[in-house]
Structure 1
Amino acid sequence: MHRLGSVQQRMKCIFKREVIEEPSSKHEGQPFQVIATRHVSPDALKSDIGSALATEKLDGICCYVKEYKGQPYLWARQDRTSKLVNVPETWIPARSDKPDGLGWVPVEKGNKFGVVNYDAGAAVVLRPSSEDEELLEIALVPLADLLGQTLELIGCGVKKNPYNVSIRLLVAHGTVRVRKPPPQDFQQLHSWFTDCPEGCAEGIVWHCHNGNMFKVHRQHMGLSWPSHGDTCLGSRPVVINIDGKLLPHQQQASKACSMLTALSKLNGQRFSRLQDVRIDS
């Protein structure tokens, strides 16, 4: 799986921003909004943003795969600047050279995420199919293959589940590419979000050749999210590629119908939309 960038710090907006005194549509209880101006930021221009690769910005929980307890482990992002969060002793900073309060905590065995099986040493990942750029694939990927990567946890019970997905999945950052990205112009981006089917997304992340990343999301442009109707990601076709024979024996024999076991029963099946995938609970 090709890695474009690991998200280890707060990402800058592609445009210069300004603050307006209106309640935020993104952060509940915040009495102001941070919106984009019409001017591309100097940092983006210096990074040759015009030649950057555009990928879909996903709305979920940011995660990271890093060694812990002698094996590859899934970590979840936690902001220690929030007064509402109790920071555990296992918390580590995302960037030791540029501390900004963002960090990671290990997702322990028996967690509620439901996307990692440490006995199998693998995670349930949503990724583009190697056979068809339009087709997505739900696969069991070794955690060792994901070391050093950041991913987004999306699906049922994650934030507002804007993709209307009944299961939980990890998506490596930078893998869901915007196939026909709009010009980096405020008005044309606004039109893309409102009028283009591919624009039914939270936002865009641009990956520059120098390693810098820039974003824009719908709230920057005064647009609501989740958007009305189906999302682009949730509407894409998907195939299940999880072989039950690869799961640990105790996982297969369990009376509890885990997500992995349930998905393995759908191995090889293709669905016209990601949001149509349903498993027995």
Structure 2
Amino acid sequence: MMEGLGAVQQKISCVFETAVIDEVSKKRDNQSYRVQATSKIKQKAIDNEVNSAQATEKLDGTCQPWLWARFDKKPNKSAERRFKKFQTLKQKNSTDQTFAWDLDKDFKETPEHWIPASGVEQEDGRPVPDDIGHTPGWVPVYPASRQHCWHLSAVDLKAGLAVVLREENEFTLCIECVHLSSLLGRTAELIGTNINGNPYGIGNKKFPVHLLVVHGTIQVLDPPQLTNEAVKSWFETAGQVEGIVWHCANGALFKVHRNHVGLDWPVPKPVLSTRPIRIAIETNDLKSDTCLLETLAKLDGQTFASLLDLERVFPSVLTELDHFGMKHCELTSE
């Protein structure tokens, strides 16, 4: 297993310089502009030796460090309108001006106990938004919160366990159960049935499946050269992934998304969905009331052609669990 690399605390900067294009965004609803990568690598990326960095797959999920869920502080409607107008004028006039946010009035209220992400710039003790107006941050995951129900389906807080998808080797993935203490200081992506439209096709409405993927643990074995043309060509052929994240030796992170080079996401057959997968849930050490863990434990040691096969085998396993009086209310969405 490759060890995780940089923990993702903030929005990751594109490895290329970007330009704002006056077209409707393919990535974000109701956004009248889109961000496009130019052919120039950012000087900051060069300074951080990105050409020798480790490349990993960018996943389409929701980011969370353990027991906290990602929650970005965003502009309110009036500030968002001003910001969009500024972006349009900046693109037409090609200026280096920066937008002036009113940190007291321009942002929506955040939930109780919200904290800014590590490394967010501070001004007079207040967090400063990034270049798209968001302030990355975290809120605690509460067991009784409906908003966090899918986060909680991948963990057992009482037993201190989590269901993690990792890379076993260059071909095979592995679903395993780990103790939460092993994830301290790490961040992870939550993927699955009810996350971002389920681009990986994991589970279904009747049998939803959600998994944590620790950032930096899914390698890109043959990344493209760092030119706009090479990156786009790679995405169109071998790179059926949402994006690439480069982990520099000093901890700096840079990314490129399919949308940066004008390509759509999701794609019909993401690489993550097509790799063989092994289940490694040690039943002897498992004492959990979480149905996903109980279900996967019945499949311990088995290997499947892909993540998509879980949808096929889960109904029969759940029938067996019901026979022994085990409830699966946490796994079903009804």
Q: How do 1:104-143 and structure 2 match up within 5 A?
A: 104-110=138-144, 111-113=148-150, 114-129=153-168, 132-143=169-180
User: Residue type matched to 1:194 in 2?
Assistant: E
Q: Distance in 2 between matches of 1:219 and 1:97?
A: 25
Q: Which residue of 2 aligns with 1:275?
A: 308
Normalized per residue, the structure richer in helix is 2
Structure 1 runs, 4 residues or longer, greater than 6 Å off: none
User: Residue type matched to 2:117 in 1?
Assistant: A
User: Residue type matched to 1:108 in 2?
Assistant: Y
Residue 128 of structure 1 and its aligned partner are, at CA, apart by 1.1
Q: Distance in 1 between matches of 2:245 and 2:193?
A: 23
Q: Distance in 1 between matches of 2:68 and 2:24?
A: 32
Q: Which residue of 1 aligns with 2:111?
A: 88
Q: Which runs of 5+ in 2 are unaligned?
A: 78-107, 122-126, 130-134, 204-208, 316-331
Identity over aligned residues, as a percent?
A: 44
Equivalent in 241, 259, 270 of residue 292 of structure 2 = 259
How many aligned positions are there? 262
Q: Which residue of 2 aligns with 1:219?
A: 259
Residue 2 of structure 1 and its aligned partner are, at CA, apart by 2.0
Q: 2:224–2:234: 8 Å Cα contact kept in structure 1?
A: yes
Q: Distance in 1 between matches of 2:247 and 2:166?
A: 18
Q: Which residue of 1 aligns with 2:232?
A: 190
Q: Over residues 227-260 of structure 1, what are the superposed CA-to-partner deviations in whole Å (9 max), with x where a residue is unaligned? A: 1x210011111011113333336x28xxxxx211
Q: Which residue of 2 aligns with 1:13?
A: 14
Q: Distance in 1 between matches of 2:118 and 2:221?
A: 31
Q: 2:164–2:212: 8 Å Cα contact kept in structure 1?
A: yes
Equivalent in 216, 219, 226 of residue 174 of structure 1 = 216
Q: Which is greater in Rg?
A: 2
Q: Which runs of 5+ in 1 are unaligned?
A: 66-73, 253-257
Normalized per residue, the structure richer in strand is 1
Residue 276 of structure 1 and its aligned partner are, at CA, apart by 1.6
Q: Over residues 7-54 of structure 1, what are the superposed CA-to-partner deviations in whole Å (9 max), with x where a residue is unaligned? A: 111211010000010000000010000000011111111111110110
2:200 corresponds to 1:163: yes
Q: Distance in 1 between matches of 2:171 and 2:298?
A: 24
Q: Distance in 1 between matches of 2:110 and 2:243?
A: 29
Q: 1:35–1:220: 8 Å Cα contact kept in structure 2?
A: yes
Q: Provide closer, same or farther for how the CA distance between residues 22 and 149 of structure 1 changes in structure 2, counting only shifts above 3 A.
A: same
Q: 2:57–2:219: 8 Å Cα contact kept in structure 1?
A: yes
Q: 1:119–1:248: 8 Å Cα contact kept in structure 2?
A: no
TM-score, length-scaled by structure 1: 0.88
Q: Distance in 2 between matches of 1:103 and 1:47?
A: 25
Q: Provide closer, same or farther for how the CA distance between residues 123 and 182 of structure 1 changes in structure 2, counting only shifts above 3 A.
A: same
Across the aligned residues of Structure 1 and Structure 2, the Cα RMSD in angstroms comes to 1.7
Q: Distance in 2 between matches of 1:127 and 1:277?
A: 16
Q: 1:19–1:32: 8 Å Cα contact kept in structure 2?
A: yes
Residue 122 of structure 1 and its aligned partner are, at CA, apart by 1.1
Q: Distance in 2 between matches of 1:54 and 1:259?
A: 31
Q: Provide closer, same or farther for how the CA distance between residues 231 and 96 of structure 1 changes in structure 2, counting only shifts above 3 A.
A: closer
TM-score, length-scaled by structure 2: 0.75
